[in-house]
Structure 1
Amino acid sequence: MQQTRYLSDNRLISTAEYQTAAEQYRGLLLCPLCGEKAWFIKEVSSENINRAACFAAHHQQGCEAATLRLNTEDDTTDSNKTDKVREPSARYAPAGLWQSIKAPQLGGVDGYDVSTALRQLLSHLCRNRDFANQGQKIQLLTAAGRELIAGKLADYLVHINDISDKHLQALYIFWGQINNVNEREFENPVDDELWLNTGDYRKEPSVFIDADLRYSLIRRFKLTDLDALSGADFILLGHAGKSPQGKFTLHIAMSKYIAFRLYGVS
């Protein structure tokens, strides 16, 4: 898309307009035809690809504004990474057994690590949002064996659209879709911030990543450009906070407690 709709006043804006005032427009863009949230994609010029700046969205089926194809990493061989994880002990079950009505525990030193378990769970949720309503059970442990959460999966799983005050102060598994990424730099790099916004950064939930976690996140997911997270599905194990203005903010302790399904453009 070369144009997108600006939510605040309903007018169409171009990529050039967006780049002159990105802070104003970020998180407030919609597909002009199907109304799905949109985001900005930078121009790329290299030996392998030449692509003009544009807007993208997870369009509704059949939307004629869709000019790019978004390919999830699940369409690549990366989705088979979990096949190479060693067979866990009898107390645990391979991540693929999430499909079981009563899936056994996952995580800890004797089973699949938390990051793998979260990534597998995200894949299932993206295919079927009601996946957790089958009575599955979950147990997530630290590497040292300390229990983080245990019980019915549905009791701990929260979509970003369903976050409320009852989810404050306790560990939950939050999931949803990142719309835009905002890096905030300060005079002291220790204070730098990364915000993974699910939409309007003023009102809709965001994932907060501090400077230390940012570097860990980049290394763990081999990110060369943080804008690659725009449009990505995400899942995390963490806490929710709430600002005086009523905005929910999600926090993680370590980068292994978050996972993504990234989308490439073709």
Structure 2
Amino acid sequence: MQQARFLTDQRLINTTDYLSAAEHYRGLLLCPLCSEKAWFIKAVNSDSLNRAACFGAHHQDGCEAATLRLNAENDVNPGQKADTVREPSARYAPAGLWQSIKAPQLGGSDGYDVNSALRQLLSHLCRNADFAAQGQKVQLLAASGRELIAGKLADYVVHVNDISDKHLEALYIFWGRINNVNEREFDNPDDDELWLNIGDYRKEPSVFIDADLRRSLVKRFNLADLDALSGADFILLGHAGKSAHGKFTLHFAMSKYIAFRHYSISST
């Protein structure tokens, strides 16, 4: 997709426009035809791939603006036409983990790896947003054995569009889709920030990641380019805060408490 619609004034912009004022346009782009959220994709020039800069989106079925395909490994819908994403292989918890009414505990010395379990739960939620409303129960323990959450899974799983004041300061499992990534650099690298934005960073929820957690995240997920998280689905175990302007911000303590469903890009 070589053009995107700027939400503020509805005009069409191209990739040159975006690069000239990325902060102005970030999180405020839509597909011109189906109006799904769009994001900027950098140009790639290498021995194996040459791709011009463009815009991506998870288009609605049949949208003729889609020029790329987004494929999620193990989650591909053969009939889907979209600006596409393929996931790297992931370690999954046993298949029955989230299908049992009384799911086994997560984490702890006798439980499943919490990162793998979150990744599998995310995969289920992406297929069926109401997956957690089937009566499952969850107990999640820290490595020390301390209980983090316990009870009905449905009471703890919150989509980013459904965050409200009742979710503030308590531990929940939040999930949704990242639209754009914003790295903020300061004179002291220890003050650097990474923001994973759901859309408009001024109003819509964002995931905040400080410099230390960013380094851990890059290492755990082997993220050579953080912009690759644009368009990805995510799930995290953490807390929600709220700014004076009413914007919700998500925070998590360690990189094992977040997981992603990445997409690879290919031509349609």
- C-alpha distance in structure 2 between counterparts of 1:54 and 1:11, whole Å: 17
Higher relative contact order (CA 8 A, sep 6+): 2
Is 1:12 paired with 2:22? no
TM-superposed deviation, 1:74: 3.4
Which has the higher mean CA deviation after the structures are superposed, 98-107 or 116-125?
A: 98-107
The residue type equivalent to 2:231 in the other structure is G
Change (3 A) 1:78 1:54: closer
Question: Structure 2: how far apart are the matches of 1:154 and 1:81?
Answer: 24
Paired residue for 2:126?
Answer: 126
Please give the TM-score of this superposition, normalised by the length of structure 1: 0.93
| Superposition CA RMSD, Å | 1.4
- What is the alpha-carbon distance in structure 1 between the residues aligned to residue 90 and residue 8 of structure 2? 42
2:194 aligned counterpart, secondary structure = strand
Output aligned runs, 1:36-51, within 5 Å: 36-51=36-51
Change (3 A) 1:245 1:60: same
Contact 2:234-2:261 within 8 A present in 1 as well: yes
Q: Report deviation, 1:106.
A: 2.4
Identity over the aligned pairs, expressed in percent?
79
Greater fraction of residues in helix: 1
Q: Distance in 2 between matches of 1:111 and 1:77?
A: 25
Q: Deviations over 1:119-147 (max 9, x none)?
A: 11000000000001100001111111111
Q: Does 1:82 align with 2:92?
A: yes
Alignment partner, residue 208 of structure 1:
208
Partner of 1:261: 261
1:58, 1:66 → 2: CA distance? 9
Partner of 1:90: none
Shift of 1:80: 5.9
* 2:143 partner SS: coil
Q: Deviations over 1:195-231 (max 9, x none)?
A: 0000000000000000000000000000000000000
Q: Evaluate the alpha carbon distance shift between residue 236 and residue 77 of structure 1 in structure 2; reply closer, same or farther with a 3 A threshold.
A: closer
Distance 1:155 1:142, change over 3 A: same
Q: Within 5 Å, give how 1:1-266 maps onto structure 2.
A: 1-74=1-74, 78-79=88-89, 81-82=91-92, 94-266=94-266
Distance 2:174 2:29 in 1: 23
- Any stretches of 5+ residues in structure 1 without a counterpart? 84-93
Partner AA of 2:250 in structure 1: L
2:83 matched residue in structure 1: none
Contact 2:87 2:261 in 1 (8 A): no
Structure 1 counterpart of 2:13, one-letter code: I
Q: Could you report, residue by residue, the CA deviation over 1:138-186 in whole angstroms, capped at 9, with x for unpaired residues? A: 1111111111100000000100000000000110000000000000000
- Aligned-pair distance for 1:117? 1.1
**How many positions carry a matched residue from both structures?**
256
Question: Residues 238, 138 of structure 1: CA spacing in aligned structure 2 closer, same or farther, 3 A cutoff?
Answer: same
Question: Normalized against structure 2, the TM-score is what?
Answer: 0.92
Q: 1:86 is matched with which residue? A: none
Task: Answer whether contact 1:196 1:206 (CA < 8 A) is retained.
Answer: yes
Structure 2 stretches lacking a partner, 5+ long = 76-85
For 2:216 and 2:139, locate their aligned partners in 1 and report how far apart those are by CA, in whole Å: 25
